[in-house]
């Protein structure tokens, strides 16, 4: 049996007045996701445990079968794992965005989705100017980087993890002074962030970006901190070897920690221009030798954060046609498979941030019972009366088609 999970990050949305109270999923053309519903069933799943932030790390841990209430240790360590950075017991890993600040407002959480080449030069400069034996900066992809801080003891590491740090994409257009890190140890982070402005504001890379009318990366923003995670292997939990495909360090980091093969797809960018079909083709190739594959597409989420209605519709339709369609058509010839499609959380374009409402999921394939639904949408899932209250059990359902209460 082959098992496939296809995640359109942030696809879910909320009803919009200009579309007669329909959601983006309802107005987008998604024949393949609809086909999965028609040939299988649809339901709602809570990917965010009550009381936890509706972050992508929390949601995707749930989907992969790991209860965030038990295993969550912060976003930074998950991304560090994919980058091959070993975190000691006294170190705390932070996500480090290059952002655009203007008049103390968070103008852009990604500095105009700065290129990896440009951003690497800036982060390397930050490391040279602000790094030391206790503080190290590591360049990642585009605006997504890491800062590792050695706080001296495990007790201090636990305290640092309790500092309240707000994701930059949640405060777009807002005054950053209200959202700087709060709590014991927060002053260290604020100092680094403030010092980064002095390093970055006159850098040649940013001068060129300004001349070209692009947003400069004029500050670093630290958030998503955590300590070294400890999770059982996927094969130990579910009895299957598998692979993960994503352009995002966070998702690949989870995959590495739980023993999934991380597959890098040429042209996969984590943005609108990602190689959708390449991800599907590499997933099918992976299934020749493995029983399970997890495919993650970031583009709908990016469009949601950007408040870009048209791009979100386009991203969802590309996901449906080029990812879901490619995989579904190929697996239909196999017959011995189960395929599940879902968002990890909503990212409404009107709010430009994640929310924690339950999301629709659809599953089809061998031995999957059929229902009467035929459309993949939030409303269709709500009408189905099929619920999985704990997100970490949705993959249990994929494997066993039963969920224990």
Whole-angstrom distance, CA of residue 206 vs CA of residue 293: 40
Three-state secondary structure call for residue 95? strand
Per-residue pLDDT tens for 221-280? 999 999 988 899 999 999 999 999 999 989 999 999 999 999 999 999 999 999 999 999
Domain map (residue ranges) of the chain: 2-71+230-400, 80-226
Q: What are 211's two structure tokens?
A: 């001349």
**Cα-based distances in Å from 15 to 18, 20, 168, 319:** 9, 8, 25, 21
CB atoms within 10 A of CB 261: 15
Whole-angstrom distance, CA of residue 195 vs CA of residue 147: 14
> What pLDDT does residue 403 have?
76
Could you tell me whether strands 105-108 and 261-263 are parallel, antiparallel, or unpaired per DSSP bridges?
unpaired
Kindly give, in sequence order, each residue whose CB lies less than 8 Å from that of residue 11, ignoring residues fewer than 6 positions away.
Answer: 24, 25, 300, 316, 319, 343, 359
Per-residue pLDDT tens for 78-134? 999 989 999 999 999 999 999 999 999 999 999 999 999 999 999 999 999 999 999
Per-residue pLDDT tens for 348-403? 999 999 999 999 999 999 999 999 999 999 999 999 989 999 999 999 999 999 87
Mean pLDDT of 25-53: 97
Q: What are 229's two structure tokens?
A: 């995670």
Residue with tokens 């992976």: 286
CATH code for the part of the protein at 2-71+230-400:
3.40.720.10
Bridge partners of 138, per DSSP, are 146
């Amino acid at each position: 049996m082959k098992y496939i999970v296809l995640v359109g990050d942030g696809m879910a949305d909320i009803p919009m007045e200009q579309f007669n109270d329909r959601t983006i999923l309802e107005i987008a053309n998604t024949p393949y996701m609809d086909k999965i519903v028609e040939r299988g069933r649809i339901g709602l799943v809570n990917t965010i445990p009550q009381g936890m932030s509706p972050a992508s790390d929390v949601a995707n841990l749930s989907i992969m079968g790991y209860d965030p209430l038990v295993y969550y240790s912060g976003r930074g360590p998950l991304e560090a794992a994919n980058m091959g950075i070993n975190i000691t017991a006294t170190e705390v890993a932070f996500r480090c965005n290059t952002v655009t600040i203007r008049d103390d407002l968070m103008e852009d959480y990604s500095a105009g989705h700065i290129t990896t080449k440009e951003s690497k030069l800036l982060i390397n400069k930050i490391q040279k100017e602000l790094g030391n034996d206790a503080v190290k900066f590591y360049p990642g992809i585009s605006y997504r980087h890491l800062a590792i801080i050695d706080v001296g003891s495990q007790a201090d590491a636990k305290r640092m993890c309790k500092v309240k740090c707000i994701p930059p994409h949640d405060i777009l257009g807002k005054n950053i002074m209200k959202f700087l890190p709060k709590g014991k140890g927060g002053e260290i982070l604020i100092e680094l962030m403030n010092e980064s402005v002095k390093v970055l504001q006159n850098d040649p890379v940013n001068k060129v970006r300004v001349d070209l009318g692009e947003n400069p990366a004029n500050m670093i923003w630290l958030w998503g901190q955590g300590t070294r995670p400890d999770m059982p292997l996927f094969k130990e939990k579910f009895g299957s070897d598998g692979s993960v495909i994503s352009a995002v360090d966070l998702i690949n980091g989870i995959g590495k920690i739980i023993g999934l093969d991380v597959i890098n797809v040429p042209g996969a960018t984590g943005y609108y221009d990602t190689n959708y079909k390449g991800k599907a083709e590499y997933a099918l190739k992976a299934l020749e030798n493995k029983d399970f594959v997890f495919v993650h597409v970031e583009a709908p989420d990016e469009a949601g954060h950007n408040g870009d209605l048209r791009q979100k519709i386009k991203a969802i339709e590309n996901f449906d046609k080029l990812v879901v369609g490619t995989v579904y058509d190929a697996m239909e010839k196999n017959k011995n498979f189960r395929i599940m499609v879902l968002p990890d959380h909503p990212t409404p374009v009107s709010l430009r941030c994640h929310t924690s409402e339950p999301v629709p999921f659809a599953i089809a394939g061998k031995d999957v019972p059929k229902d009467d639904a035929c459309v993949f949408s939030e409303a269709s899932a709500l009408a189905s009366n099929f619920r999985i209250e704990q997100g970490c059990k949705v993959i249990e359902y994929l494997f066993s088609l039963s969920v224990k209460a």
